[in-house]
Amino acid sequence: MRSVIAVLALVLSAASAIADEDPRPEVMVLGTFHFTGGGADYINPAVDDYLAPARQAEIEAVVERLAAFRPTRIVVELAPQHEAAFNETYAAYRRGEQALTVNERQQIGMR
């Protein structure tokens, strides 16, 4: 009887260990139009100043909702030759030495 209980306990603990494995990762993909315009998108909406307080409040609200997802990685669209400059700008922003520009990579990606 003890061996049956031991085997049953072993099977249940193994099943529990399998059930406790991390589920498949969740992925969120966010796409935006280019905030600076310039005809880079198929549709170029006319939008007022992204640096205006009201627009900044809207962007911050979006970023807060994105942060609630608790991402562990954030990827931005960027040509490889611009990666070093972007990383330097991001580091300066994190140190409080760089203000955000209108660029969507900065307005959403860096926050």
Structure letter (DSSP) for residue 23? P
pLDDT interval class at 51 (50, 70, 90): very high
Q: Is the per-residue pLDDT at 57 higher than 70?
A: yes
Task: Inform me whether the pLDDT recorded for 27 exceeds 90.
Answer: yes
DSSP state of 33: -
DSSP for 45-110, written as a single string: -----TTSHHHHHHHHHHHHHHHHT--S-------GGGHHHHHHHHHHHHTT-----S-HIIIIII
Say what percent of the chain tops pLDDT 70: 82
pTM over 0.75, yes/no = no
